[in-house]
Amino acid sequence: MVQFTRRQFARSAAGAGLLVAAPQLARVSLAEGPAKIVIIGGGPGGTTVANRLKAANPALDVTLVEPKQKYTTCFYSNLYLGGFRSFQSITHDYEGVKKRGITIINDVATGVDTTAKTVTLAKGGTPLSYDRLVVAPGIDIKFDSIEGYSADAAEIMPHAWQGGAQTWLLKQKLLSLGAGGLVVMTVPPNPYRCPPGPYERACMIAHFLKTRKPRSKLIILDAKKTISKQPVFEEAFMEFYKDIIELNLTNEIDDFAVQRVDAKTGEIVTKAGRKETAELANIIAPQKAGAIAFAAGLTDGDWCPVNPENFTSTKTKDVYVLGDAAIAADMPKSAFTAVSQAGVVAADILADLSGNERTPGKFRNTCWSMVAPDNSAKIGGDYLPAKKDGKAFLEVKEPFVSKAGETPDVRRETFNESAGWYTGLITDMFGKAPLAADTPDTSAPAGAAKP
Protein backbone atom coordinates (compact mmCIF):
# COMPACT_ATOMS: atom_id res chain seq x y z
CA MET A 1 0.00 0.00 0.00
CA VAL A 2 1.17 3.52 -0.76
CA GLN A 3 2.27 5.35 2.38
CA PHE A 4 0.93 8.86 2.86
CA THR A 5 2.26 10.67 5.90
CA ARG A 6 0.20 12.90 8.16
CA ARG A 7 2.51 15.75 7.20
CA GLN A 8 1.76 15.24 3.50
CA PHE A 9 -1.96 15.09 4.17
CA ALA A 10 -1.75 18.20 6.33
CA ARG A 11 -0.14 20.12 3.49
CA SER A 12 -2.87 18.96 1.13
CA ALA A 13 -5.59 19.72 3.67
CA ALA A 14 -4.33 23.22 4.37
CA GLY A 15 -4.49 24.05 0.69
CA ALA A 16 -8.01 22.69 0.51
CA GLY A 17 -9.32 24.87 3.34
CA LEU A 18 -9.53 21.86 5.65
CA LEU A 19 -7.45 22.86 8.64
CA VAL A 20 -8.72 25.35 11.22
CA ALA A 21 -6.40 27.43 13.34
CA ALA A 22 -7.43 27.09 16.97
CA PRO A 23 -5.99 30.13 18.79
CA GLN A 24 -8.31 32.72 17.29
CA LEU A 25 -11.28 30.45 17.95
CA ALA A 26 -10.76 29.76 21.62
CA ARG A 27 -13.73 31.63 23.08
CA VAL A 28 -16.67 29.99 21.35
CA SER A 29 -19.53 29.92 23.84
CA LEU A 30 -22.89 31.50 24.44
CA ALA A 31 -24.37 32.95 27.60
CA GLU A 32 -26.18 29.71 28.45
CA GLY A 33 -23.10 27.52 27.95
CA PRO A 34 -21.06 25.99 25.16
CA ALA A 35 -22.43 26.58 21.68
CA LYS A 36 -24.39 23.67 20.25
CA ILE A 37 -23.57 22.56 16.73
CA VAL A 38 -25.72 19.90 15.10
CA ILE A 39 -24.44 18.28 11.91
CA ILE A 40 -26.72 16.15 9.74
CA GLY A 41 -24.81 13.62 7.65
CA GLY A 42 -21.71 11.59 8.47
CA GLY A 43 -19.98 11.63 5.10
CA PRO A 44 -16.73 13.44 4.27
CA GLY A 45 -18.27 16.89 4.65
CA GLY A 46 -20.26 16.41 7.83
CA THR A 47 -17.69 14.30 9.65
CA THR A 48 -14.89 16.70 8.77
CA VAL A 49 -16.84 19.69 10.07
CA ALA A 50 -17.43 17.84 13.34
CA ASN A 51 -13.77 16.92 13.67
CA ARG A 52 -12.55 20.43 12.89
CA LEU A 53 -14.93 22.09 15.33
CA LYS A 54 -14.03 19.78 18.19
CA ALA A 55 -10.30 20.03 17.49
CA ALA A 56 -10.44 23.82 17.47
CA ASN A 57 -12.52 24.06 20.64
CA PRO A 58 -13.04 20.90 22.74
CA ALA A 59 -15.66 22.71 24.85
CA LEU A 60 -18.10 22.88 21.94
CA ASP A 61 -21.19 20.67 22.07
CA VAL A 62 -20.93 18.91 18.70
CA THR A 63 -23.55 16.35 17.63
CA LEU A 64 -23.39 14.32 14.43
CA VAL A 65 -26.65 12.74 13.22
CA GLU A 66 -25.98 9.76 10.95
CA PRO A 67 -28.27 6.72 10.55
CA LYS A 68 -25.52 4.26 9.59
CA GLN A 69 -23.12 2.80 12.12
CA LYS A 70 -20.59 2.15 9.36
CA TYR A 71 -19.77 4.33 6.38
CA THR A 72 -18.87 2.82 3.01
CA THR A 73 -17.22 5.35 0.75
CA CYS A 74 -18.82 5.85 -2.64
CA PHE A 75 -15.49 7.31 -3.69
CA TYR A 76 -13.04 4.45 -4.25
CA SER A 77 -15.95 1.99 -4.53
CA ASN A 78 -15.28 1.56 -8.25
CA LEU A 79 -11.96 -0.03 -7.32
CA TYR A 80 -13.92 -2.61 -5.32
CA LEU A 81 -16.00 -3.36 -8.42
CA GLY A 82 -12.83 -3.79 -10.46
CA GLY A 83 -11.29 -6.19 -7.96
CA PHE A 84 -8.60 -3.86 -6.63
CA ARG A 85 -10.03 -3.40 -3.13
CA SER A 86 -12.23 -5.39 -0.78
CA PHE A 87 -15.53 -4.09 0.56
CA GLN A 88 -14.10 -4.08 4.09
CA SER A 89 -11.28 -1.78 3.01
CA ILE A 90 -13.73 0.94 1.93
CA THR A 91 -15.98 0.58 5.01
CA HIS A 92 -15.28 2.48 8.23
CA ASP A 93 -16.83 2.90 11.68
CA TYR A 94 -17.26 6.02 13.81
CA GLU A 95 -15.52 4.82 16.98
CA GLY A 96 -12.58 7.14 16.37
CA VAL A 97 -14.96 10.07 15.89
CA LYS A 98 -16.66 9.30 19.21
CA LYS A 99 -13.29 9.25 20.97
CA ARG A 100 -12.81 12.86 19.92
CA GLY A 101 -15.73 13.86 22.12
CA ILE A 102 -18.31 14.15 19.36
CA THR A 103 -21.81 12.87 20.13
CA ILE A 104 -23.06 10.53 17.41
CA ILE A 105 -26.76 9.79 17.10
CA ASN A 106 -27.59 6.88 14.79
CA ASP A 107 -30.93 8.15 13.56
CA VAL A 108 -32.55 9.90 10.61
CA ALA A 109 -33.17 13.63 10.82
CA THR A 110 -36.74 14.17 9.62
CA GLY A 111 -37.36 17.87 10.18
CA VAL A 112 -35.82 21.22 11.04
CA ASP A 113 -37.55 24.14 12.76
CA THR A 114 -35.36 27.07 11.80
CA THR A 115 -37.29 29.43 14.07
CA ALA A 116 -37.01 27.31 17.20
CA LYS A 117 -33.61 26.04 16.01
CA THR A 118 -34.39 22.37 16.54
CA VAL A 119 -33.94 19.12 14.63
CA THR A 120 -36.46 16.29 14.93
CA LEU A 121 -35.46 12.63 14.60
CA ALA A 122 -37.25 9.58 13.22
CA LYS A 123 -37.07 7.70 16.52
CA GLY A 124 -38.72 10.56 18.34
CA GLY A 125 -37.60 11.98 21.67
CA THR A 126 -36.72 15.56 22.49
CA PRO A 127 -35.74 17.54 19.39
CA LEU A 128 -32.07 18.52 19.20
CA SER A 129 -31.50 22.21 19.77
CA TYR A 130 -28.74 24.02 17.90
CA ASP A 131 -27.01 27.36 17.67
CA ARG A 132 -25.63 26.51 14.25
CA LEU A 133 -26.79 23.72 11.96
CA VAL A 134 -24.76 22.00 9.23
CA VAL A 135 -26.70 20.00 6.65
CA ALA A 136 -24.59 17.54 4.65
CA PRO A 137 -27.10 14.86 3.59
CA GLY A 138 -25.50 13.78 0.34
CA ILE A 139 -27.81 12.69 -2.46
CA ASP A 140 -31.03 10.82 -2.99
CA ILE A 141 -31.92 9.04 -6.21
CA LYS A 142 -34.72 10.54 -8.34
CA PHE A 143 -36.44 7.24 -8.97
CA ASP A 144 -39.46 8.93 -10.53
CA SER A 145 -37.32 10.47 -13.28
CA ILE A 146 -37.19 7.12 -15.12
CA GLU A 147 -40.36 5.20 -15.93
CA GLY A 148 -40.27 1.81 -14.25
CA TYR A 149 -37.43 2.64 -11.88
CA SER A 150 -37.97 2.53 -8.12
CA ALA A 151 -36.27 1.53 -4.90
CA ASP A 152 -37.53 -2.01 -5.50
CA ALA A 153 -36.28 -1.99 -9.10
CA ALA A 154 -32.88 -0.84 -7.84
CA GLU A 155 -32.56 -4.16 -6.01
CA ILE A 156 -32.50 -5.77 -9.47
CA MET A 157 -30.97 -2.91 -11.48
CA PRO A 158 -28.67 -1.27 -8.92
CA HIS A 159 -27.54 2.32 -9.18
CA ALA A 160 -24.72 1.83 -6.64
CA TRP A 161 -24.32 5.61 -6.47
CA GLN A 162 -24.68 5.59 -2.69
CA GLY A 163 -22.00 3.63 -0.87
CA GLY A 164 -23.03 0.51 1.04
CA ALA A 165 -25.55 -2.19 0.23
CA GLN A 166 -25.98 -1.05 -3.38
CA THR A 167 -22.22 -1.20 -3.97
CA TRP A 168 -22.12 -4.73 -2.61
CA LEU A 169 -25.12 -5.75 -4.71
CA LEU A 170 -23.61 -4.53 -7.97
CA LYS A 171 -20.40 -6.47 -7.29
CA GLN A 172 -22.34 -9.66 -6.49
CA LYS A 173 -24.23 -9.30 -9.76
CA LEU A 174 -20.94 -8.91 -11.61
CA LEU A 175 -19.64 -12.05 -9.95
CA SER A 176 -22.73 -14.03 -10.96
CA LEU A 177 -22.74 -12.72 -14.56
CA GLY A 178 -22.38 -15.39 -17.20
CA ALA A 179 -19.53 -15.40 -19.71
CA GLY A 180 -20.54 -13.38 -22.75
CA GLY A 181 -23.06 -11.43 -20.69
CA LEU A 182 -24.25 -7.92 -21.55
CA VAL A 183 -23.88 -5.14 -18.98
CA VAL A 184 -25.64 -1.84 -19.65
CA MET A 185 -24.82 1.33 -17.73
CA THR A 186 -26.93 4.47 -17.97
CA VAL A 187 -25.50 7.90 -17.10
CA PRO A 188 -27.66 10.92 -16.16
CA PRO A 189 -27.40 14.55 -17.26
CA ASN A 190 -25.48 17.03 -15.12
CA PRO A 191 -25.38 17.76 -12.25
CA TYR A 192 -24.76 14.55 -10.36
CA ARG A 193 -22.33 13.16 -7.78
CA CYS A 194 -18.77 12.74 -9.11
CA PRO A 195 -18.83 13.73 -12.82
CA PRO A 196 -16.00 11.36 -13.88
CA GLY A 197 -17.29 8.53 -11.70
CA PRO A 198 -19.36 6.65 -14.31
CA TYR A 199 -16.40 6.40 -16.67
CA GLU A 200 -14.01 5.20 -13.99
CA ARG A 201 -16.69 2.64 -13.15
CA ALA A 202 -16.89 1.66 -16.81
CA CYS A 203 -13.14 1.02 -16.82
CA MET A 204 -13.30 -1.00 -13.62
CA ILE A 205 -16.27 -3.08 -14.78
CA ALA A 206 -14.56 -3.61 -18.14
CA HIS A 207 -11.37 -4.72 -16.38
CA PHE A 208 -13.43 -7.20 -14.36
CA LEU A 209 -15.12 -8.50 -17.52
CA LYS A 210 -11.79 -8.72 -19.35
CA THR A 211 -10.17 -10.78 -16.61
CA ARG A 212 -13.14 -12.75 -15.26
CA LYS A 213 -15.99 -12.85 -17.80
CA PRO A 214 -14.72 -13.53 -21.34
CA ARG A 215 -16.71 -12.29 -24.35
CA SER A 216 -18.80 -9.99 -22.15
CA LYS A 217 -19.62 -6.43 -23.16
CA LEU A 218 -20.46 -3.11 -21.51
CA ILE A 219 -22.74 -0.63 -23.28
CA ILE A 220 -22.89 2.93 -21.91
CA LEU A 221 -26.01 5.00 -22.65
CA ASP A 222 -25.20 8.60 -21.72
CA ALA A 223 -27.56 11.58 -21.49
CA LYS A 224 -24.66 13.99 -22.09
CA LYS A 225 -22.87 15.10 -25.25
CA THR A 226 -19.46 15.41 -23.58
CA ILE A 227 -17.89 13.86 -20.49
CA SER A 228 -15.30 14.73 -17.87
CA LYS A 229 -11.70 13.87 -18.86
CA GLN A 230 -13.06 12.76 -22.23
CA PRO A 231 -9.74 12.33 -24.12
CA VAL A 232 -8.32 10.25 -21.27
CA PHE A 233 -11.33 7.97 -21.01
CA GLU A 234 -11.73 7.55 -24.75
CA GLU A 235 -8.05 6.61 -24.97
CA ALA A 236 -8.47 4.07 -22.14
CA PHE A 237 -11.57 2.56 -23.73
CA MET A 238 -9.66 2.02 -26.97
CA GLU A 239 -6.33 0.93 -25.47
CA PHE A 240 -7.53 -1.41 -22.74
CA TYR A 241 -11.16 -2.27 -23.48
CA LYS A 242 -11.62 -1.90 -27.25
CA ASP A 243 -13.84 -4.93 -27.69
CA ILE A 244 -15.66 -4.52 -24.38
CA ILE A 245 -16.86 -0.92 -23.92
CA GLU A 246 -19.30 0.77 -26.29
CA LEU A 247 -19.80 4.45 -25.38
CA ASN A 248 -22.94 6.15 -26.69
CA LEU A 249 -23.01 9.90 -26.11
CA THR A 250 -26.10 11.93 -26.86
CA ASN A 251 -25.88 13.94 -30.08
CA GLU A 252 -28.07 16.10 -32.31
CA ILE A 253 -29.77 13.01 -33.71
CA ASP A 254 -29.96 10.52 -30.83
CA ASP A 255 -30.74 11.20 -27.18
CA PHE A 256 -29.35 8.31 -25.13
CA ALA A 257 -30.90 9.43 -21.84
CA VAL A 258 -32.75 6.48 -20.37
CA GLN A 259 -36.52 6.92 -20.50
CA ARG A 260 -37.88 3.59 -19.32
CA VAL A 261 -36.66 0.39 -17.69
CA ASP A 262 -38.23 -2.96 -16.94
CA ALA A 263 -36.53 -4.67 -14.02
CA LYS A 264 -38.26 -7.99 -14.73
CA THR A 265 -37.03 -8.31 -18.31
CA GLY A 266 -33.85 -6.21 -18.12
CA GLU A 267 -35.07 -3.95 -20.92
CA ILE A 268 -33.77 -0.38 -21.11
CA VAL A 269 -35.24 2.18 -23.53
CA THR A 270 -33.66 5.55 -24.35
CA LYS A 271 -35.43 8.74 -25.39
CA ALA A 272 -34.23 8.10 -28.95
CA GLY A 273 -35.97 4.73 -28.87
CA ARG A 274 -32.92 2.50 -28.63
CA LYS A 275 -33.64 -0.71 -26.73
CA GLU A 276 -31.19 -2.96 -24.94
CA THR A 277 -31.89 -6.04 -22.84
CA ALA A 278 -29.20 -6.38 -20.20
CA GLU A 279 -28.19 -9.39 -18.18
CA LEU A 280 -26.94 -6.79 -15.70
CA ALA A 281 -28.10 -3.17 -15.67
CA ASN A 282 -26.39 -0.40 -13.71
CA ILE A 283 -28.88 2.47 -13.73
CA ILE A 284 -27.08 5.61 -12.56
CA ALA A 285 -30.22 7.72 -12.31
CA PRO A 286 -30.62 11.50 -11.90
CA GLN A 287 -30.14 12.74 -8.35
CA LYS A 288 -31.20 15.40 -5.85
CA ALA A 289 -30.23 16.61 -2.40
CA GLY A 290 -30.91 14.28 0.53
CA ALA A 291 -34.48 14.31 1.89
CA ILE A 292 -33.80 16.42 4.98
CA ALA A 293 -32.78 19.34 2.76
CA PHE A 294 -36.31 19.42 1.34
CA ALA A 295 -37.95 18.93 4.73
CA ALA A 296 -35.92 21.85 6.10
CA GLY A 297 -36.90 24.16 3.24
CA LEU A 298 -33.32 24.56 2.03
CA THR A 299 -33.79 23.65 -1.63
CA ASP A 300 -34.34 25.47 -4.88
CA GLY A 301 -35.26 22.79 -7.37
CA ASP A 302 -33.26 19.64 -6.69
CA TRP A 303 -30.37 21.26 -4.80
CA CYS A 304 -29.58 23.80 -2.08
CA PRO A 305 -28.44 27.35 -2.91
CA VAL A 306 -25.62 28.66 -0.72
CA ASN A 307 -23.50 31.77 -0.34
CA PRO A 308 -20.25 30.80 -2.07
CA GLU A 309 -17.92 32.52 0.40
CA ASN A 310 -18.91 30.28 3.35
CA PHE A 311 -21.69 27.88 2.24
CA THR A 312 -24.35 29.40 4.46
CA SER A 313 -27.83 28.66 3.18
CA THR A 314 -29.51 31.45 1.23
CA LYS A 315 -32.87 30.21 2.54
CA THR A 316 -32.47 30.74 6.29
CA LYS A 317 -30.11 31.96 9.00
CA ASP A 318 -27.52 29.98 10.96
CA VAL A 319 -27.67 26.98 8.63
CA TYR A 320 -24.90 25.71 6.37
CA VAL A 321 -25.25 23.26 3.48
CA LEU A 322 -22.22 21.55 2.01
CA GLY A 323 -21.14 18.61 -0.07
CA ASP A 324 -23.19 17.02 -2.82
CA ALA A 325 -26.45 18.68 -1.72
CA ALA A 326 -25.19 22.23 -2.32
CA ILE A 327 -25.29 24.28 -5.50
CA ALA A 328 -21.64 25.23 -5.89
CA ALA A 329 -21.65 26.55 -9.47
CA ASP A 330 -18.81 24.92 -11.44
CA MET A 331 -17.36 23.25 -8.35
CA PRO A 332 -18.16 19.56 -8.86
CA LYS A 333 -19.83 17.27 -6.36
CA SER A 334 -17.00 15.16 -4.94
CA ALA A 335 -15.56 13.95 -1.65
CA PHE A 336 -12.59 16.26 -2.09
CA THR A 337 -14.78 19.36 -2.51
CA ALA A 338 -16.95 18.33 0.45
CA VAL A 339 -13.87 18.16 2.67
CA SER A 340 -12.60 21.47 1.32
CA GLN A 341 -15.96 23.09 2.01
CA ALA A 342 -16.03 21.54 5.49
CA GLY A 343 -12.85 23.30 6.53
CA VAL A 344 -14.27 26.64 5.41
CA VAL A 345 -17.60 25.98 7.14
CA ALA A 346 -15.92 25.04 10.43
CA ALA A 347 -13.76 28.15 10.37
CA ASP A 348 -16.75 30.35 9.57
CA ILE A 349 -18.88 28.90 12.37
CA LEU A 350 -16.13 29.38 14.91
CA ALA A 351 -15.31 32.90 13.77
CA ASP A 352 -18.99 33.85 13.80
CA LEU A 353 -19.67 32.47 17.28
CA SER A 354 -16.53 34.00 18.76
CA GLY A 355 -17.09 37.42 17.20
CA ASN A 356 -13.99 37.25 15.02
CA GLU A 357 -13.82 38.42 11.42
CA ARG A 358 -15.38 36.03 8.93
CA THR A 359 -13.27 35.81 5.78
CA PRO A 360 -14.29 34.27 2.44
CA GLY A 361 -13.09 30.72 1.98
CA LYS A 362 -10.74 29.25 -0.57
CA PHE A 363 -11.65 25.89 -2.01
CA ARG A 364 -9.96 23.11 -3.95
CA ASN A 365 -10.95 19.99 -5.83
CA THR A 366 -9.19 16.98 -7.25
CA CYS A 367 -10.95 13.95 -8.74
CA TRP A 368 -8.86 10.88 -9.53
CA SER A 369 -10.05 8.09 -11.82
CA MET A 370 -8.45 4.69 -12.16
CA VAL A 371 -8.60 3.46 -15.76
CA ALA A 372 -6.39 0.35 -15.54
CA PRO A 373 -4.00 -1.28 -13.04
CA ASP A 374 -1.62 1.35 -11.60
CA ASN A 375 -3.02 3.83 -14.11
CA SER A 376 -5.02 6.84 -12.93
CA ALA A 377 -5.92 10.27 -14.28
CA LYS A 378 -7.02 13.40 -12.45
CA ILE A 379 -8.84 16.70 -12.86
CA GLY A 380 -9.17 19.65 -10.49
CA GLY A 381 -8.52 23.24 -9.64
CA ASP A 382 -8.84 25.95 -7.02
CA TYR A 383 -12.09 27.87 -6.49
CA LEU A 384 -12.39 31.40 -5.13
CA PRO A 385 -15.50 33.48 -4.39
CA ALA A 386 -16.01 36.15 -7.05
CA LYS A 387 -18.74 38.35 -8.48
CA LYS A 388 -20.09 38.70 -11.99
CA ASP A 389 -22.87 41.13 -12.86
CA GLY A 390 -23.39 41.63 -9.14
CA LYS A 391 -23.89 37.91 -8.45
CA ALA A 392 -21.54 35.91 -6.25
CA PHE A 393 -20.13 32.67 -7.61
CA LEU A 394 -17.09 30.39 -7.32
CA GLU A 395 -14.47 31.08 -9.97
CA VAL A 396 -12.09 28.29 -10.92
CA LYS A 397 -8.40 29.15 -10.78
CA GLU A 398 -5.45 27.15 -12.12
CA PRO A 399 -7.47 24.20 -13.43
CA PHE A 400 -5.61 21.05 -14.36
CA VAL A 401 -6.45 17.78 -16.08
CA SER A 402 -4.54 14.68 -17.12
CA LYS A 403 -3.90 14.32 -20.83
CA ALA A 404 -4.13 11.43 -23.23
CA GLY A 405 -0.76 9.93 -24.06
CA GLU A 406 0.82 10.34 -20.63
CA THR A 407 3.59 7.89 -19.78
CA PRO A 408 3.01 4.86 -17.54
CA ASP A 409 5.24 6.46 -14.91
CA VAL A 410 3.07 9.59 -14.80
CA ARG A 411 -0.10 7.53 -14.54
CA ARG A 412 1.41 5.33 -11.83
CA GLU A 413 2.37 8.41 -9.82
CA THR A 414 -1.17 9.75 -10.20
CA PHE A 415 -2.54 6.44 -8.93
CA ASN A 416 -0.16 6.53 -5.96
CA GLU A 417 -1.29 10.08 -5.25
CA SER A 418 -4.94 9.03 -5.16
CA ALA A 419 -4.19 6.04 -2.91
CA GLY A 420 -2.30 8.30 -0.52
CA TRP A 421 -5.13 10.82 -0.50
CA TYR A 422 -7.65 8.11 0.37
CA THR A 423 -5.54 6.77 3.22
CA GLY A 424 -4.90 10.25 4.58
CA LEU A 425 -8.52 11.35 4.36
CA ILE A 426 -9.92 8.21 5.99
CA THR A 427 -7.35 8.43 8.79
CA ASP A 428 -8.25 12.07 9.34
CA MET A 429 -12.01 11.43 9.24
CA PHE A 430 -12.26 8.30 11.35
CA GLY A 431 -9.12 8.36 13.49
CA LYS A 432 -7.58 5.25 11.98
CA ALA A 433 -6.27 4.15 8.61
CA PRO A 434 -8.42 2.06 6.27
CA LEU A 435 -7.94 -1.68 6.28
CA ALA A 436 -5.57 -3.14 3.70
CA ALA A 437 -6.97 -3.27 0.17
CA ASP A 438 -6.97 -7.09 0.21
CA THR A 439 -8.74 -7.50 3.58
CA PRO A 440 -11.15 -10.45 3.09
CA ASP A 441 -14.87 -9.80 2.89
CA THR A 442 -16.64 -12.09 5.34
CA SER A 443 -20.28 -11.03 5.17
CA ALA A 444 -22.74 -8.84 3.31
CA PRO A 445 -23.40 -5.33 4.65
CA ALA A 446 -26.60 -4.49 6.51
CA GLY A 447 -29.56 -4.13 4.17
CA ALA A 448 -27.89 -5.85 1.22
CA ALA A 449 -30.24 -7.62 -1.18
CA LYS A 450 -29.52 -11.01 -2.68
CA PRO A 451 -27.96 -10.75 -6.15
Cα separations in angstroms, 363 against 12, 17, 341:
12, 6, 7
Question: Residue-wise pLDDT tens for the chain (451 aa)?
Answer: 334 444 445 445 544 554 554 434 445 555 467 999 999 999 999 999 999 999 999 999 999 999 999 999 999 999 999 999 999 999 999 999 999 999 999 999 999 999 999 999 999 999 999 999 999 999 999 999 999 999 999 999 999 999 999 999 999 999 999 999 999 999 999 999 999 999 999 999 999 999 999 999 999 999 999 999 999 999 999 999 999 999 999 999 999 999 999 999 999 999 999 999 999 999 999 999 999 999 999 999 999 999 999 999 999 999 999 999 999 988 999 999 999 999 999 999 999 999 999 999 999 999 999 999 999 999 999 999 999 888 889 999 999 999 999 999 999 999 999 999 999 999 999 999 999 999 999 878 877 877 7
Strands 118-121 and 109-113: antiparallel
Q: Hey, is 201 helix, strand or coil?
A: helix
Domains of the chain from N-terminus onward: 6-67+107-138+290-430 (3.50.50.60), 142-286 (3.50.50.60)
Kindly provide the b/e burial profile for residues 253-275, where b requires at least 16 CB atoms within 10 angstroms of the residue's own CB.
Answer: eebbbbbebbbeebbbbbeeebe
Dist CA 77 CA 329 (whole Å):
26
| Residue 185 exposed, middle or buried by CB count within 10 Å (0-12, 13-18, 19+) | buried
Helix 6-15 × helix 408-430 angle, to 10°: 90
| pTM: predicted TM-score of the whole model, two decimal places | 0.94
Dist CA 223 CA 388 (whole Å):
30
Q: Are the C-beta atoms of 90 and 71 separated by less than 8 Å?
A: no
